[in-house]
Every structure is written in C-alpha cells, then in structure tokens.
Amino acid sequence: MPLYLHKLFWPVIFVGVNILSKSFYLTSQSICLDEPFTVYHAQFDLVNLTSFLEKYNNPPLFELITHFWIKLFGIGPGSIRTLPMLFSSISVFFIYQMTIEFFNKRTAILASIIYTLSTVNIWFAHDCRVYSLFVLLTVISFYLFFKLLKEPSEFKTRKLIVFSFINLLLIYGHYFGFIVWGLEFLIVCLFFLRSNPVIKKYAITIVIGLTAYLPQLIILWQRTKQHINNGTWVEPPKGIESLYNMLWSFCNEPIPTVVCIVLLLSTITVFFIRKKKTPVHPYTKYIIIWFLVPFIGMFLISYKIPMYIDRYLIFISPAFYILLALSISYLFKDQKNI
C-alpha cells in the first residue's frame, strides 16, 4: 500500500463509520424544530435570502449552501439532513489528522472514537442547521492554525489563502466564529509574540477576513446591540449546575460525565505528584485554551447575555474529546515512556 494511502486508512475508516452510523434514523421524524426555518429561507432566491436573514441570528452561509443542495436533491427529510450529516462525519477526518500530526496515533484513534460516539454531535448531524458545519470549520481552522504555529516558514501562500478562506467561512457561518478567531489570537498573544513569521502571517489572515466581511459587520453590530439591550431567548446559567449539564451534553449520560470529570481531574493530579514531570506539550495548552476559555467565558458572559446552551458551545466539543483522549493516553501509557 502506498504511504499516502496508508496514512489515510484510519481517518477514512472513521469517516465511513460516522456516515454509516449517522445515517440511521435520519428520516425517523419529519422536518421539525428550527429546520423549517432553514428549509423555508433556503428556497428564496439568493438576493432575498441574504437580505431577509439580516433580521435573524445567523449569517447566511448554511442557508446558501442548503439553497443549492435543495436544487440538486430536494427538500425531503433524508435529503436536507444528509448535508449536516456529511459535515459532521467529515469533521472526524480532521480531528484524526490534527491529533496524529501534533500528538500520536493512539490519541488520534481515541479522540476519533469518542467523537464518533458523541450523541450531541449525532443530534446535530441530524439537524438541518448550521451547527455541524460550524464544528467542521472550527476543526479545520485549528488544524491549519496549528500547522502555521508549527512551521510558519512552510506555510506558503496557498496554505495562507486556504486558512484565510476557512476562517472567513467560519464568521459567515456563525457569528460565534469570531470566538474561534479570538481563541487563535489569544494563543498567538500568549505564546508567539516574539515570532515575527507567525504574527505576520496570522495578521494577513485577519486582514483578509475582515475585508471580506465588511458587508456583514454593520449587521453583526446591530444584532449584538439588540442582544445586549434586550437579552436573548436563552435562560441565564444556574450556577455550577449549568457547567455540569454542559459536560453531560458532551458526554451522553450522567455516569460517563462523572467518569470524564474524574479522568480529567486524575490526569491533573497525577501530573503534579509524579516526580519525573515532563513539560506540558505546547499543543495540549492550545487545546485547553480552545476548550476552557469558551466553556468558562461564555458561562460568565451568559449572566449578562444568556448564550450557554449546547448548540452555541458545540464548536468546543472536539477539543474536549481530544483532552479526554490525551488524558487516557497519559494515565495508561507505558511507565518507561514517561
């Protein structure tokens, strides 16, 4: 088997498993909840579609994609839900690629398995809304961002254009795409202020993105101002219970949630009590920031502007699963390799 095919074996297998498993029950219920909103507006002509969505909470990217998808495949439940199902399934490819490139194969397989078993991601794979696309774009963005941090000299024009384009799609897909931008900016500020190549190339992506986003900036400001003044439909957090419930959403059930919390706390404890401490892997720090800053930050902000629900934090779920995989690898690896 050629080397490049060998490297693609596991990620392609995981994509196939995701497509197969997430295809079950795709049409078990009719179009419901917020799906009619997407289907209805996606059938507008492109000018009316974008202008009408200015009044609502999401930028138009997903509805634009769905517009052309409907023209090709129709508006039945199976058709429209295949699109988010594919976005969700493809995400595992980049989760695997990210973890094997910046950590190791064992962690990549574990993270991919955990993501595949995630019921909240299965749910959004069956929901014709933007959230599965948001997860996919977030994972691709961080994957390319990590490659920029690792080898800025190898991040040539083509890769820079692709990275800029993905980050542009992020903010045209969901306004919280700016949170992903902010997380990447935070990592650059914390760890790469003395790295001129990283700063220069990351700044180029910001300039490209903001320039291309100019038509949407006024709309973003208007929507933000309205939410600040009038609040949102989401309920404010209920203390630490809301943090636990968010983890519960990511972990499927209460018992796995407790197991995951114990696993993460055990990893932290073991790290500090071991005599032969190794420095924290730099990309582990970046994954922690990806997960922890929105997990806590959006919780605190939600007391003022409520937004603390799983759909708005779904973009941090891959980081959580990677952290779980890293914890398992750390706690149960061969002691000789510590």
Q: Tell me how far apart the alpha carbons of residues 257 and 37 are, in angstroms, rounded to a whole number.
A: 33
Per-residue pLDDT, 222: 74
Q: Tell me how far apart the alpha carbons of residues 11 and 98 are, in angstroms, rounded to a whole number.
A: 11
**Sign of the Cα pseudo-torsion (290, 291, 292, 296, in order):** positive
Q: Tell me how far apart the alpha carbons of residues 150 and 135 are, in angstroms, rounded to a whole number.
A: 22
Residue 29 C-beta-side C-alpha neighbours within 13 Å:
9
Per-residue pLDDT, 2: 60
Q: Tell me how far apart the alpha carbons of residues 131 and 296 are, in angstroms, rounded to a whole number.
A: 20
Print pLDDT tens along the chain (338 aa).
Answer: 565 566 889 999 999 999 999 999 888 888 888 888 888 888 888 888 877 777 677 788 999 999 999 999 998 899 999 999 999 999 999 999 999 999 999 999 999 999 999 999 999 999 999 999 999 999 999 999 999 999 998 898 999 999 999 999 999 999 999 999 999 999 999 999 888 899 999 999 999 999 999 888 877 777 777 767 666 778 889 999 999 999 999 999 999 999 999 999 999 999 888 766 678 899 999 999 999 999 999 999 999 989 999 999 999 999 999 999 999 999 987 443 33
Per-residue pLDDT, 234: 80
Phi then psi dihedrals of residue 126, to 5 deg: -100, 10
CA-based Rg of the chain, rounded to a whole angstrom? Answer: 20
Per-residue pLDDT, 284: 96
Per-residue pLDDT, 334: 47
Per-residue pLDDT, 241: 95
In the chain, the largest separation of any two C-alpha atoms, in whole Å, equals 65
Full-prediction pTM beyond 0.85?
Answer: yes
* 235 SS3 class: coil
Q: Tell me how far apart the alpha carbons of residues 114 and 122 are, in angstroms, rounded to a whole number.
A: 12
Per-residue pLDDT, 144: 97
Q: Tell me how far apart the alpha carbons of residues 213 and 172 are, in angstroms, rounded to a whole number.
A: 8
